[in-house]
A = this chain, B = another copy of it.
Amino acid sequence: MFSLPLRDNARLRPLETWQAEEFAAHMDRAREHIRPWVGAGFITEDLAGARATLRRYAERQAADGARLHGIWLDGTLVGGVMFVNFDAAAGSCEIGCWLEPAAEGHGLVTEACRALLDWAFAARGLHRAQWNCRADNARSSAVAKRLGMTLEGVRRQSWPYGGTRHDTQTWAILAPEWSAHRGATGN
C-alpha cells in the first residue's frame, strides 16, 4: 500500500511476511553475491527460510525493534535496507543493506539509507545510527562514507567467513551530524 520513490525508477517499501515468494526468488539471484558480506542468518536457501526471515523481522518490528525494507527496481525486488537493531529507549540504531548484482551502481542503497536515517532522527528522535561492515568490504564502507558517517573502530577478527576471521568496521553518525550532512549535500 505504501512506498517511497528512490531514483532510477526504484521504490522503497516495507518487506513483509506475505512477500515470501518474491523474497525467496530474489534471494536465489542474490545469494552467492551477498553471502560473504551479510550476517550468516540472513542467507536462506528456500521459501521456508525466506519466510522465516520476514516473519522474524515482522515480529521484532511489532516490538518496535528491527525493521526490513525492500528496494524494487522496475518492479523487481533487488535488495533492501534494514534496521538491524532499533532501540528507542537508548536512542540508537544500526542500519544494514544488501543488493543483488544487477542493481548495483545506481546509488539505491545510499538513497534508501537516507530515508531510514531521516525517519530515525526526525520522526523517531534517535541520536545515533551505526553501520557495521567487513573491513575489506569497500562497497559498504563507501556507502557509510557517502552517508557522512565516521569510522569509530575496527573489531579485529570478529567476522568468521570461509575459514578466516575478518575484521569488522564500525561507522556511525549522530543526529546533529546528519542534519549538517543533509544541509551540506543538499540531499
Contact = CB atoms under 8 A, between A and B. Distances in A.
Interface in A87-136: 88, 90-92, 115-116, 118-119, 123-124, 127-128, 130
Nearest to A13: B2
A32 interface: no
Contacts of A137: none
Interface string A144-187: 00000010111111101000010000101010000000000000
Number of copies of this protein chain within its complex? 6
Q: Which of A91, A119, A156, A174 has the most CB of B within 10 A?
A: A156
A62 interface: yes
A51 to B, nearest CB: 10
Contacts of A4: 1-2
Contacts of A115: 1
Query: Closest 3 A-B residue pairs measured CB to CB?
Result: A153-B153, A58-B62, A2-B2
